[in-house]
Amino acid sequence: MDETDPVRRDGVMVHRFDGHDGPIYRPCSGHHCVYCADLSTAKAYLSFWRRPPERRCRRHVNTSSPARV
């Protein structure tokens, strides 16, 4: 694979590699890196990583109504 110019977004990089079946994107932020099939998925990872850790995987819990079983 040949690496082409990286895409910069808010100080972090999305590297684009040309593979046999098309481009492969690798967003990296700090010690997080992942390979993606398209640029929109790579940008979504960067958006996720930019969130504070307490807001990444927290689900909204409705405390105003009783829990249903």
Q: Are strands 7-9 and 2-3 parallel, antiparallel or unpaired?
A: unpaired
> For the chain (length 69 residues), average pLDDT per consecutive 10?
52 80 88 89 87 70 57
Query: Is the overall model pTM greater than 0.85, yes or no?
Result: no
Rounded CA separation 60/25 (Å): 31
